[in-house]
Amino acid sequence: MPPILEARDVTRRYRVGSGDVDAVRGVSLTVDAGEFVAFMGPSGSGKSTLLHLLGGLDRPTSGDVVLDGELVSRLSDDAATRLRREKTGFVFQFFNLIPLLSVWENVALPFTIAGEDARHGEPADAVRAALASVDLDGKERHRPDQLSAGEQQRVALARALVRHPALLLADEPTGNLDFSTGTEILDRLWSSCHEGGQTVVLVTHDAKAAAYADRVYVMHDGSLRDEIRLGRREDHGAGQLIARLADLGL
């Protein structure tokens, strides 16, 4: 399989006042279609910045990002947005649901943005299936503030999944959840990858979450410091990863 995602010597410099912050410093990597890859690293090491670059939410200062064969970093804004909507689904730490919309409307948003009416036909079937896949049947008419944190993240996940994007990107999706609700989210990401064939890129500081991945990149100060290959393991045991991190002095 060709890689679905490639970063070629990618940097991202933020201008802050009179100084610069080099949030990502020359990252090169590939992710194969169907892989589950995690990024770990301390706060401020550039994980979120890199994820946004990989998913086409932000543009590199230099270097290139190739998403499913397209040089997303060189596309016009409109073309990059179109590619991102077609190929990716994002899940964030703080859910990023729209408070005034119902659960159904939030999950239907990718269709609405694409100009499709999600109240009928195939889009409606897709919304229903996405909600069922995260066990939210019966909650369609609730508003986000009428749901628990775990349920809100499941809505966000359903929204990311609803158009079956090839690539799912998740930034600390369990960061605001307790262990068991976090595990539900990770299990759902896992089944999207292992059964659904989608590619998953997960940012987390939690080794138990990263242990779902086939491969873990460790970031430090904007660079990839290490790469740990775990292989696919249905038990998601974190022991091997924790031992490897300890060997690296982390």
Ligand X SMILES: Nc1ncnc2c1ncn2[C@@H]1O[C@H](COP(=O)(O)OP(=O)(O)O)[C@@H](O)[C@H]1O
Where along the sequence are the contacts to ligand X (CB under 6 A)?
A: 14, 16, 21, 23, 41, 43-49
Q: Give the range of 34-42, 44-52, 133-141, 161-169 binding Mg ion by CB under 5 A.
A: 44-52
Calpha distance 54→167 (Å, rounded): 10
Q: Considering the complex, state which of residue 48 and residue 198 has its C-beta at the smaller distance from Mg ion.
A: 48
Q: Which does 41 bind (CB under 5 to 8 A by kind): Mg ion, ligand X, none?
A: ligand X
Q: Considering the complex, state which of residue 47 and residue 188 has its C-beta at the smaller distance from ligand X.
A: 47
Calpha distance 237→240 (Å, rounded): 7
Shortest distance, position 63 Cβ to Mg ion, whole Å: 20
Q: What is the token pair recorded at 5?
A: 């995602």
SS3 31: strand
Task: Count CA atoms closer than 13 A to 189's CA, side-chain side.
Answer: 37
Q: Which does 199 bind (CB under 5 to 8 A by kind): ligand X, Mg ion, none?
A: none
Q: Which does 94 bind (CB under 5 to 8 A by kind): Mg ion, ligand X, none?
A: none
CA separation (Å) from 180 to 172, 174, 186, 208? 15, 10, 10, 12
Element (H or E) spanning 208, and its range? Answer: helix 207-210
Options 48, 106, 174, 183; binder of Mg ion; rule CB under 5 A: 48
Task: Catalog residues that contact Mg ion under the rule CB under 5 A.
Answer: 48
